[in-house]
Amino acid sequence: MSKPITLIGAPTDIGAGMRGASMGPEALRVADLKATLESHGLFVEDLGNLAGPSNPWSPPVDGYRHLDEVIAWNHHVHDAVLGALQQGSLPILLGGDHSLAIGSISAVARHCRAQGKHLRVLWLDAHADFNTSVITPSGNLHGMPLACLCGLGPTELTGLSDQRPAIDAAAIRQIGIRSVDLGEKQLVHRMGLDVFDMRYIDETGMRHTMEQALFGLDENTHLHVSFDVDFLDPEIAPGVGTTVPGGPTYREAQLCMEMIADTGRLGSLDVMELNPALDLRNKTADLAVDLLESLFGKSTLMRRA
Ligand SMILES: [Mn+2]
């Protein structure tokens, strides 16, 4: 019997450089996320949307845009995700921009500490999301969540899990990376992050990449997947604010999700940065739901159990 799933909508683009990701949760619902998961025998509860401050669309202050609002949203996300985990369910955060992964993963980290579980974070993204207020070109906090989770950032965000850093850099595997700012690149190297960038995937294939990224999981591991939809090639997933060419194809993305499903260790998930204002007839949301089916165990090939 698999865990029940809790959908949590976070309709905001507070950390993004473009408006529209605030409509992401509804687009995923329109793409039939709940019924699709239920068709595989899963129990799914949709908690609806969290509420938080509106987007003032103001310029950066001391290297951050909308810091107060980002903090407020992340508190709400943290509390909702933690609540779902404590009830024994598997939370899916429907973003919303990627800055909200700070709250989500802080809750997961707190839960893992309380349960004595190992945490592994897969960060599926075109970007490293490892900026700080000093090196950021824009001040947009959706480019900073991993740095914050590793302890680099404003104390209100780095301390959300009650321990700083919230997670060990060694717990992170970045996959699909193909756009990294210069200062960010140096920081990622200094922190010793495990990065499987697009060149690595090109050279060794998605199968080998995922074998490496999932290596060492054990029965006591909680696997968190933070899926930024811009991970995917923009040819198949145009509905995101920060497209970068040269991402995983449809089949590569499916294999990635299927191999995660095969581990049986998935404990929580973020689906982030979907921007319906830039999408074509909701096709990116449809694709995201299609990939989530694979992530939750629908194998596209006939296989013996
Ligand atoms: Mn991201």
From the CA of 1, how far away is ligand 1's center (Å)?
32
Mean pLDDT of the chain: 96
pLDDT digits 0-9 by tens, 192-230: 999 999 999 999 999 999 999 999 999 999 999 999 999
pLDDT, residue 204, reads 98
What pTM was estimated for this model as a whole? 0.97
From the CA of 66, how far away is ligand 1's center (Å)?
17
From the CA of 300, how far away is ligand 1's center (Å)?
27
Closest CA to 55 of 42, 43, 69, 67: 69
Work out the pLDDT band at 1, boundaries 50, 70, 90: low
Q: State the CATH number of the domain containing residue 23.
A: 3.40.800.10
CB 136 within 8 A of CB 63: yes
303 found inside a domain: no
pLDDT, residue 303, reads 65
Work out the pLDDT band at 259, boundaries 50, 70, 90: very high
| Boundaries of domain holding 269 | 5-295
pLDDT exceeds 70 at position 31: yes
Catalytic residues: 98, 125, 127, 129, 142, 228, 230, 273
Encoded tokens for 56: 């003032």
For 119-132, b/e burial (b = at least 16 CB within 10 A) is bbbbbbbbbbbbbb
151 found inside a domain: yes
Radius of gyration of the CA atoms of the chain, in A: 17
pLDDT exceeds 60 at position 47: yes
158-161 CB contacts, 8 Å cutoff, 24+ apart: 160/74, 160/75, 160/78, 160/102, 160/103, 160/106, 160/107, 161/78, 161/106, 161/107, 161/109, 161/110, 161/113
92 found inside a domain: yes
From the CA of 128, how far away is ligand 1's center (Å)?
7
From the CA of 228, how far away is ligand 1's center (Å)?
5
pLDDT, residue 2, reads 83
pLDDT digits 0-9 by tens, 92-116: 999 999 999 999 999 999 999 999 9
305 found inside a domain: no
From the CA of 42, how far away is ligand 1's center (Å)?
28
Work out the pLDDT band at 298, boundaries 50, 70, 90: confident
pLDDT exceeds 60 at position 300: no
Angle at CA 68, nearest 5°, toward 66 and 73? 95
Angle at CA 298, nearest 5°, toward 295 and 299? 105
300 found inside a domain: no
CB 37 within 8 A of CB 289: no
Edge-to-edge strand ranges of the sheet holding 266-272: 44-49, 5-10, 90-95, 266-272, 221-228, 118-124, 172-177, 194-197
From the CA of 166, how far away is ligand 1's center (Å)?
18
The widest CA-to-CA distance across the chain, in whole angstroms, is 57
From the CA of 301, how far away is ligand 1's center (Å)?
30
pLDDT, residue 297, reads 87
Closest CA to 281 of 4, 20, 30, 6: 30
248 found inside a domain: yes
From the CA of 160, how far away is ligand 1's center (Å)?
19
304 found inside a domain: no
Rounded distance, CA 59 to CA 259, Å?
A: 41
Closest CA to 10 of 272, 215, 282, 269: 272
From the CA of 252, how far away is ligand 1's center (Å)?
19
302 found inside a domain: no
Number of domains in the chain: 1
For residues 126-150, average pLDDT: 97
pLDDT, residue 168, reads 97
For residues 118-122, average pLDDT: 98
